Amino acid sequence: MRLEMKSKSIQLAQIGCGYWGPNLLRAFSSQPACRIKYVVETNPERRKFVRMNFPRTAVLSTCRPVLEDPDLSAVVIATPARSHFMLAKRFLLARKHILVEKPLATKVCEVDELASIAEEHGLVVMAGHTFLFNGAVRYIQKLIDSGELGDLRYIYCQRLNLGRIRTDIDALWNFAPHDISILQYWLGNPEPLFVAKCGLDFVQDGVEDVVFLNIIYPKKIMASVHVSWLDPQKVRRIVVIGTRKMVIYDDLAEGKVAIYDKGIDRRAVLGQNMDFDRPAPPQFSYRNGDVLFPQIQFIEPLVAEASHFLDSIQNQRAPITGIGHARKVVSILERAHTIAGNSPSPVMK
C-alpha cells in the first residue's frame, strides 16, 4: 500500500501568491511527486503573474473549486497571518492535508482546534518553518546533540532589516517565528520557564517595529531574540555559547557556520587551603583555540520543506514542523504578545 502511495502524484492547490507565494509555487513545481492544480489569488496582477509563469496551473479567484475537488489532496496556504487559522480549518474540514506559512495560527486555542480536526480525519498539518530544513541549522543541532559544544549557556538571535514594514502583524510575529522555531528545534521543543518582551511602535501606532524577547529554558539556558525592520543593516545571525565551544551561524555569510574553540575554564587550586576564614578565590583560565568553518552541503531549504510535506502525506508521518512544534512556537509568541513591559509570564519556577 505504501509503495502505491509513493508512485501516485499528489494534486495540490496554493492559496495566495503574494510576497512569499511565488517561492512556494516554484519549490512545489520542482517536485515530481506532486502537481499544482490550482492557485487561488484575489489580486488580478498576481493572477496574471501565475498565468504567465505557471501556464499548466489553473488560476482562480475563489476557493470553492478547491474545496469541492475530490481529487485534490493537499493545500498550501500563503496568505496573511491573520487568515491562517480560518483557511486552515476550512480546508481540514474539506479533508485536505495542509501546509501553512508561519505562524500556523495566532492563538494556541486555534492550533489545538486544528490539531483536533486533523487527528479526527487522519490529516497532515505542517507549518512553514523553513529554517528547520536549512543545512546549517541542522548541522548545529547535531553539534548540540553530540555534546561537542558542552553544556549550553545562552543563545542570542538577531533578525534585523530596514523594511519590509508590515501592517497586518508586528515585527515579533513577522520575524521571531523563525528564531523561536530554531531554538525549539535545537533544544528539543521544551516548555520555557520564563518569557519576557520589550517592544515599541515607532512608524505605525500599535504595530511594534522593534522587539527584544527574552526566554529562559530548563537546564539554565537563556535565549534572547532581537527583531526589527527599523535597522541600518540586514542581519541574520545566531550565536550559541557552550561550556566547551561557541558557534556563530550567519545566514548571510559565505561560511554560514563558524565554530570557536573559546571559553573560560575554572582551574583546580593546587594545594590545600587551611585558612577556612579566608578561602582561596577561584582560578580561571581563558581558552582561545582554532576557528573551524565546516563545509555544509547546501540544499535549498524551501525545496527540502516541500519534499518533506509530500513525504509526510505519502508515508502518513508527522512532519518535524507539525502540530507539536508549531503549537510551542505560537505559545511563546502568544505569551510574549500579552506581556506589558518586562513582566514575566508565568513566574519562573
**pLDDT tens digits, 165-176:** 888 899 999 999
Residue-level pLDDT at 265: 79
Task: Sketch out the chain's domains with CATH numbers.
Answer: 2-131+301-322 (3.40.50.720), 134-298+332-337 (3.30.360.10)
Residue 186's φ and ψ, nearest 5 degrees, are: -65, -35
Residue-level pLDDT at 278: 64
Average pLDDT score, the chain: 91
Residue-level pLDDT at 5: 40
Whether the predicted pLDDT of 343 surpasses 50: no
Mean pLDDT calculated for residue range 205-225: 97
Stretch among 97-106, 206-215, 217-226, 338-347 having the lowest mean pLDDT:
338-347
Mean pLDDT calculated for residue range 54-64: 95
Please give the DSSP secondary-structure letter assigned to residue 281: P
Whether the predicted pLDDT of 272 surpasses 60: no
Say if CB 130 and CB 325 are below 8 A apart.
no
**Using CA atoms, how far apart are residues 77 and 87, in angstroms rounded to an integer?**
8
**Using CA atoms, how far apart are residues 342 and 236, in angstroms rounded to an integer?**
25
Q: 34 forms bridges with which residues in the sheet?
A: 10
What the block records as the C-alpha cell of 339 is 506581556
